[in-house]
């Protein structure tokens, strides 16, 4: 008699299990669709050169407002804006993603840059752009093969991202720390000026250039 009465329970359990599997599948489908809508569109590209493995907006992508923490750079009479490896130029009533001109200097490297060694010289790579260390920061260089450099050697493991330059003394920025320090926000997992406000106290970090080979 017990075996007969347990049959409906087993059927109910099977139905619940099937419903749970279906719910998980639908949740995964929604998650995949969100990622597809965000990244797998004509507006985004995946940069996997040298195992860099970062997504960036493609040149020509337009925005009406620049991201917080961007850096303004003037070069040969033109105005450019830099943020996390992406370059913008003012166009009309907004800003358009562009390729930076060779020779322009930016004070910080993009987060998560990849170091590649070419003909014995270090290049810092991100978003199809090569940078070289120079006075005042990092200069956008011509692609090494175009410049006639030797073939790329097997790159060493990617170096950690170089923290941004010291923050100015302002209400939204950290202060009271000796010169030669950078500022890190634990909750945002980012350095100033890539984030301009921090919910807790900023953590000063000793300044250090990218490691030499």
Q: How far is CA 57 from CA 31, 83, 88, 144, 172, in A?
A: 21, 12, 11, 23, 27
Q: Are 43 and 57 in contact (CB under 8 A)?
A: yes
What pLDDT, on the 0 to 100 scale, is given for residue 180?
53
**4 pLDDT more than 80:** no
What pLDDT, on the 0 to 100 scale, is given for residue 15?
58
**182 pLDDT more than 50:** yes
For the chain, percent of residues with pLDDT exceeding 70: 54
9 φ, ψ (degrees, to nearest 5):
-65, -40
Q: Which residue has the higher pLDDT, 126 or 157?
A: 126
For the chain, percent of residues with pLDDT exceeding 90: 34
What pLDDT, on the 0 to 100 scale, is given for residue 90?
95
119: phi > 0 → left, psi -120 to 50 → alpha, else beta; which?
Answer: left
64 φ, ψ (degrees, to nearest 5):
-95, -20
| Helices and strands (H and E) in the chain: how many | 1, 15
pLDDT tens for 58-115 read 999 999 999 999 999 999 999 999 999 999 999 999 999 999 999 999 999 998 899 9
What integer is the mean pLDDT of 203-209? 60
């Amino acid at each position: 008699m017990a075996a007969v009465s347990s049959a409906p329970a087993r059927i109910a359990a099977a139905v619940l299990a099937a419903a749970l599997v279906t719910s998980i599948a639908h949740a995964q489908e929604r998650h995949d669709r969100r990622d597809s809508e965000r990244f797998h569109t004509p507006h985004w590209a995946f940069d996997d050169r040298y195992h860099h493995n970062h997504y960036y907006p493609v040149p020509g992508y337009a925005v009406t407002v620049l991201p917080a923490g961007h850096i303004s750079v003037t070069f040969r009479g033109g105005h450019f804006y830099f943020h996390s490896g992406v370059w913008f130029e003012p166009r009309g009533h907004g800003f358009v993603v562009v390729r930076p001109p060779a020779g322009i200097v930016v004070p910080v490297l993009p987060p998560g840059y990849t170091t590649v060694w070419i003909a014995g010289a270090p290049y810092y790579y991100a978003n199809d752009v090569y940078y070289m260390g120079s006075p005042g920061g990092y200069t956008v260089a011509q692609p090494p093969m175009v410049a006639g450099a030797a073939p790329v050697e097997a790159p060493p493991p990617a170096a950690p991202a170089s923290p941004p330059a010291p923050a100015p003394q302002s209400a939204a920025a950290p202060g009271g720390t000796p010169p030669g320090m950078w500022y890190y926000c634990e909750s945002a997992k980012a350095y100033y000026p890539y984030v301009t406000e921090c919910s807790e106290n900023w953590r000063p970090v000793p300044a250090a250039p990218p490691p030499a080979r």
